[in-house]
Structure 1
């Protein structure tokens, strides 16, 4: 039954019999037969068929909800039993928004320092895809924005608040500034993330609130491309401060804070809402909480030192 439910999940995700079969590593006839057997077992038609896949029936949509829950529970059971045999081990799949990749790396490194038998696969994608992949059981957790668009029913831990900085060449007219305003970038040639990225939507909103309609000379879903374009193409870009400092180190580029951002947008770890969590996922959530507390503590110390200097 579990295998057939996984077939239903794959078919609903791919919306194509051939692609769904390939994703599972089976032939298309095997997939079709498995779906028919599942329909026979449940006594209802799950899939609309014609010359091609026609979607799920209302019964199929309801079965899909149960399929995700049952398959997820089965995986959690396997994880629980492996924990009793081997302790914390296995492999975690995490999808991450591009601006949080350095945070994902820190989380994985800190986790591996305490639990070396757990491996990671980290991939970059949009915030929308993070949630879709969680729902389809394609990943175990994600790192995304927590407060800008609806998340649905997930468990979450805030890791940090995202604030933005300008990246420009050392010879740029703004390079000597201690800080800039969004309005200062009105006439600049911009390299920005693509519009499907939530970071781009946040930045667009900040520009528009300053009375600017941003027009990007170059768009990319890669932050590395954006920084490279600043270095070689004469543009400027806007990225979160931590990522900006990491990507520009040793490259002759300036990172300048942008004023008027408030507390910034929350970025954090998201995982399926389930009780109990698997031991590995619970340990990951605990590690995220620990790192968040350490980050907040360092920022309080930095702010206090700044206040003392200004007295």
Structure 2
């Protein structure tokens, strides 16, 4: 039944039979047959069907909670037995907000030095997607904001606090300044992340607290696209200091501290609330605790 439950979870996640089948590397008829067999085994209809996926029935909504729990517990059992016999191995799917990708690279690199048989898949996602992926078992752990928007029932470990800088092309009017006030960005052409990103909502809030409104020259869900636009000299951007320094190297860009009203926001490791954790996730938590910076 486990494989049928995984099919059911995939179908719920994708809301499309074809995409769900593709995500599992099976044919669509195989997926459809598996869902039908699961319904027969449980004695209820799980999915509304028409010419396409029509959503979950009330019974399907209830079954989804159980399916996620059963699949999660089975994976945990498998990981624990593998660890007892062979040591830590397998894969960690780490979903990360774009501004924390350098920290994800540090964490995965240091973890791999201690546990070389564990491989990482690092996925860039916004904070809301990260929580959804943890809930649906699409990700094993995340790195996200901890205290700006509700997180739900998860375990967290602070890593650092974001400290923002203005990124501008060398030779631009603001590049020679010792610092720039947030309020001075009112009317300045900005390259910013898209509104679905929590970083963008934080930047908008910080600007508003200092009496400024964002004048967006370009929006993107890619920080690389933002930095490339700034290099053209037609706009500036605001980024956390850590990733700004990494991306600005060798690109003719200046980083100028920002001054004004507003607090920093903590970023940290986010894990599903499970007791006990799998051995791999317990080791990841321990490594993240060693990596923790000032917050």
TM-score normalised per structure 1: 0.91
C-alpha displacement at 1:262, in angstroms? 4.9
Determine the structure 1 residue equivalent to 2:235: 235
Give every structure 1 segment of 4 or more consecutive aligned residues whose post-TM-superposition deviation is greater than 4 Å.
none
2-side partners of 1:285 and 1:260: how far apart?
A: 34
Match of 1:108 in 2: 108
Deviations 1:87-142 (A, max 9, x none): 11111111111100001011111111211221111121111111111112111111
Determine the structure 2 residue equivalent to 1:302. Answer: none
- After superposing the two structures, state which structure 1 stretch, 249-258 or 63-72, moved more: 249-258
Partner Cα distance (1:171, 1:199) in 2: 27
Q: Aligned equivalents of 2:252 and 2:37: distance in 1?
A: 63
In structure 1, the residue matched to 2:282 is 282
CA RMSD of aligned residues (A): 1.4
Which stretch has the larger CA shift, 236-245 or 46-55? 46-55
Kept in 2: contact 1:169–1:230 (CA 8 A): yes
User: Which structure 1 segments of 5+ residues have no match?
Assistant: 300-311
Aligned partners of 1:232 and 1:187: how far apart in 2? 18
Secondary structure at 1:30's aligned position in 2?
A: helix
1:78 matched to 2:95: no
CA contact 1:80–1:279 (8 Å) conserved in 2: yes
Matched residue count: 295
Q: 2 CA distance for matches of 1:16 and 1:250?
A: 45
Pick which of 55-64 and 123-132 moved more.
Answer: 123-132
Partner secondary structure for residue 40 of structure 1: helix
Specify the alignment match of 1:205 in structure 2. 205
TM-score normalised according to structure 2 size:
0.96
Which position in structure 2 is the counterpart of 1:140? Answer: 140
Contact 1:161/1:263, CA 8 A, preserved across alignment: no
Structure 1 pair 262–208 and aligned structure 2 pair: CA distance change class (3 A): closer
Q: Is the 8 A contact 2:186 2:215 kept in 1?
A: no
| Secondary structure of the corresponding residue to residue 258 of structure 1 | strand
Is the CA contact (8 Å cut-off) linking 2:161 and 2:266 kept in structure 1?
A: yes
Equivalent position of 2:264 in the other structure = 264
State the 1:261 CA deviation. 5.3
Look up the SS of the partner of 2:143 in the other structure.
strand
Asked if 1 retains the 8 angstrom alpha-carbon contact of 2:191 and 2:218, the reply is: yes
- Residue 163 of structure 1 corresponds to which residue in structure 2? 163
Q: Is the 8 A contact 1:165 1:256 kept in 2?
A: yes
Q: Who is 1:19 aligned against?
A: 19
- CA distance in structure 2 between the partners assigned to 1:242 and 1:93 by the alignment: 23
1:1-311, aligned counterparts within 5 Å? 1-260=1-260, 262-292=262-292, 295-296=293-294
Question: Partners in 2 of 1:189 and 1:39 — Cα distance?
Answer: 55
- Contact 2:187–2:213 (8 Å) recurs in 1: no
